[in-house]
Chains A and B, each alone.
Chain A
Amino acid sequence: MSVHTKKLIKNAYRITRDRDITALRIRVPGGHLPVEYFDIIKEVAQKYGNGTVHITTRQGFEVPGIPMEMVDKVNRLIAPILKGLEKDIGVQVNDEEIGYPAAGTRNVSGCIGNRVCPFANYDTTDLALKLERIIYPNDYHVKIAVSGCPNDCIKAHMQDIGVLGQVEPLYNPDRCISCGACVDNCHKRSTGALTMVNYRVERDEKRCLGCGECVLTCPNSAWTRGSNYYRVVIMGRTGKKNPRIARTFLEWVSEDTVLKVVANMYDYIEKHIDRRLPKEHVGYIVDRTGLNVFKDEVLKEAELDAKAKVAQFIDFGRYFYDRNQM
């Protein structure tokens, strides 16, 4: 059997341990989808697969047990998913009848966000869709996740780009009754950025994460929501070679800045990727070029307002494999 494996993989199928059998990965940007697509996923699994579906860590569905010769039929069957979840949100899909146009850039995953979660500072699915529009289809190996708040339930810290929602808390001293609930809660749950001085609350902007806990805790709306911002953590990864948690690169930046930085990152990859390798993950490119080159290139034409902070130096820490220590 002749199969162009590179094309197959680019089509979001994979080479499995079973000869001639493949598995399809279905993208669900932001991890939120109308249930009508379940019917299609079910049909693919029952008709062409082995009747099961694996829920992927990136919030997609992987349908295993598909014979490779059925790929064209499967692609035609999933056309409504490509249309509804990709083309209709503005992703460039030239022909939705021939399956996914790329698989290198992974599904943008997201926590449930403010559509449901009281802690979330924004609509994560909405941002995931905007990101999907910018980064997909693309062959470069990039992983992005968006989290509603610094709790980071989606594990954005394990991604190349992790976006965490921030809100600027606004304090109205005239509504404050000095109950201290926000101060106490900030110390216990967040960073201890609040202190009570003269029966009023002072916020240390250097410590404040913008998590919004003070707004959630205040019983009298003395704390309310100001503008939304984002923290961007970068170059977290799992993998055999030096896995590590992402570190903060930007804080208090706008949605436009997040989108611009992500778009610029693809130009950066294009410029610096080691083409001798079959593929190179963006995190390893940054390891080679250094943070400053990355920073200068991704912040090109990005508008940073006065509040924005940019990391001048990042220590990713080290992961030791020295067997003598084990």
Chain B
Amino acid sequence: MGYQMSTVEFNNVISKLLLDYRILAPVCLEGKGTFSGTDLVTYGDIERIQDVVFDRKTVYSAKEAVFPPSETMFYFTEEEFKQPSVDQKGILVFARPCDINAFKRLDAIYLESGPYPDPYYLQLREKLKFVLMECDHGFKNCFCASMGTNETSDFSLLVRSEGDQIFCLINDTGFEDLISESLASNSIRKVDLQPGFVQRNKTRLQIPDKLDNSLFSHPLWQEYASRCTGCGRCNFSCPTCSCFTMQDLFYRDNPSCGERRRVWASCMIEGYTEMAGGQEVRKTQGERMRFKVMHKFSDFKKRFGFHMCVGCGRCDDVCPEYISLPRCVQKLQEIKNGGVR
């Protein structure tokens, strides 16, 4: 059922939701952009609908809600260890279709790829519900339509903001009471509401259906070896990159206590493939780019049946060297078609 209400009325709904949920949404952090005088649009906790940024794409993705950049797995002393406690509240995340579809990829990696699900991921993932944000037009560098990730039915609420009016579609019976309670005493109106999805993007990709090892030595990758500086921004902004590394640290004041953490890792940063003894499998940025592209557009699909990339275009947005992942895929397609080099 869809409802129309004022911002004030919707904020009452949010206040009720906040009793049971932590609500995360795109917010604008003023002056927190990399460069002086610029803002950072990213995920943050909200307490009112006006805090939500509807008209800009976030730099970082919603994956942080269940896969934080740094997560303590347990604290240890000489003989014991303890897992940190977890907030009992649910997590409600405002997300666009691509980002919601990205969780299907994270689920595949964390819940379906091994003999048992990853407990740290699972304990947060179980709490997660989505508030769908529509894209009335695609943003710069988006290519969700090409990846088939432009639509979703996996959401509890749809929230659309128009002027001082909020349109809200309830797609989860668990949330019906929330509105109907408010409905009696307020001027909330029932309306017909259907989610709108972007059907075309300016950037369009044809994913080559067979990317095989014959491309390994293609000169295409050499270009990236000279362009990429290996900063990892593409991985950290990606909603589907899920690699982490482990850190055991011993407290300085008492080194017999400490903690084990897992933190994000980046296949584009030096050291990712370094093994004991110093052997490093992929040494150049070209090889690292090749690995990333093959993983996102070939290897993952071989295992799970769908591409890893959801076409949000963040990697393209954030690359300081203006390297475009979709452009790289287009080049691969051109090569497959026997075109350019």
By a beta-carbon cutoff of 8 Å, the part of chain A in contact with chain B is 114, 118, 120-123, 148, 165, 167, 173-179, 181, 197-199, 212, 215-222, 224-225, 228
A225 in contact with B36 (CB, 8 Å): yes
B252: A residues at CB distance < 8 A: 197-198
Task: Verify B70–A176 contact, CB threshold 8 A.
Answer: yes
Q: Which of A176, A216, A217 contacts B69 (CB 8 A)?
A: A176
Q: Quick check: A199 and B261 within 8 Å, CB to CB?
A: yes
Partner of B70, one of A175, A181, A212: A175
Q: Given A175-B69, A220-B236, are A181 and B36 also a contact pair (CB < 8 Å)?
A: no
Complex alpha-carbon distance, A215 and B38, angstroms? 12
Residues of chain B contacted by A175 (CB below 8 angstroms): 69-70
- A185 to B337 Cα, complex, angstroms: 42
> Which residue of chain A is the closest to B259 with respect to CB atoms?
A198
Q: Is the CB–CB distance between B269 and A179 below 8 Å?
A: yes
- Known contacts: A177-B236, A198-B249. The answer to whether A114 contacts B37 by CB under 8 A is yes
- Give the CA-CA distance A177 to B33 in the complex, in Å: 18
Q: How far is the CA of A175 from the CA of B29 in the complex (A)?
A: 15
Taking beta carbons and an 8 Å cutoff, which residues of B are in contact with A? 29, 31-37, 40, 42, 59-60, 68-70, 231-233, 236, 247, 249-252, 261, 263-266, 269
In Å, the complex CA distance between A122 and B38 comes to 11
Cα(A261)–Cα(B250), bound, Å: 48
Residues of A within 8 Å of B34, CB to CB, are 118, 215-216, 218, 221
B60 CB contacts on chain A under 8 angstroms: 220-221
Given contacts A118-B35, A198-B249, 16 further A-B contacts (CB under 8 A): A122-B36, A174-B69, A177-B69, A177-B70, A177-B264, A178-B263, A179-B269, A181-B231, A197-B252, A219-B231, A219-B232, A219-B233, A220-B60, A221-B32, A225-B31, A228-B36
Q: CA separation between A221 and B64, bound complex, in Å?
A: 13
Q: Which of B29, B251, B266 contacts A179 (CB 8 A)?
A: B266
Give the complex CA separation of A178 and B247 in angstroms. Answer: 10
How many inter-chain contacts with C-beta < 8 Å in the A-B complex?
Answer: 77
Enumerate chain A residues within 8 angstroms of B264, measured Cβ to Cβ.
177, 220
Contact B36 A220 (CB under 8 A): no
Report 10 cross-chain contacts, Cβ distance below 8 Å, ordered by A residue: A176-B263, A177-B264, A177-B265, A179-B266, A212-B36, A219-B232, A220-B233, A220-B236, A222-B69, A228-B36
Residues in chain B near residue A215, CB distance under 8 A: 34
Q: Which chain A residue lies CB-closest to B250? A: A198
For the complex formed, measure the closest distance between the CB of B93 and the CB atoms of chain A, giving whole angstroms: 18
Contacts of A221 in B (CB 8 A): 32, 34, 40, 42, 59-60
**Nearest CB of chain B from residue A120's CB, rounded to whole Å:** 6
Tell me the nearest residue of chain A to B35, going by C-beta.
A118
CB of B216 to closest CB in A, whole Å: 27
- In the complex, which of the residues B40, B70, B266 has the most CB atoms of chain A within 10 Å of its own CB atom? B70
Q: How far is the CA of A309 from the CA of B250 in the complex (A)?
A: 35
Question: CB distance B236 to A219 under 8 Å?
Answer: yes
Chain B residues near A181 (CB-CB < 8 A)? 231
Chain A residues contacting B236 (CB-CB under 8 Å) are 177, 219-220
Q: How far does the alpha carbon of A173 sit from the alpha carbon of B247 in the complex, in Å?
A: 14
Report Cα–Cα, A220/B250, bound state, in Å: 24
CB closest chain-B residue, reference A149: B36
Smallest CB–CB gap between A217 and chain B, Å? 8
| Nearest-neighbor residue (CB-CB) of A175 within chain B | B69
Query: Which single residue of chain B is at the shortest CB-CB distance from A114?
Result: B36
Contact B249–A199 (Cβ < 8 Å): yes
Q: Identify which of A114, A167, A219, A224 gathers the most chain B CB atoms within 10 Å of its CB.
A: A219
- In the complex formed, the residue of B with least CB distance to A115 is B37
B36, B60, B251, B264 pick with most chain A CB within 10 angstroms: B36
Residue of B nearest to A148 (CB): B36
Tell me whether B70 and A174 are in contact (CB under 8 A): yes
B31 near A220 with CB under 8 A, answer: no
Q: Is the CB of A225 within 8 A of B32?
A: yes
CB pair A179 B232 closer than 8 Å: yes
- Who on chain B is nearest to A221 by CB? B40
Contacts of A167 in B (CB 8 A): 36
Q: Which residues of A contact B269 (CB under 8 A)?
A: 179
Residues on A with beta carbons closer than 8 Å to the beta carbon of B32: 221, 224-225
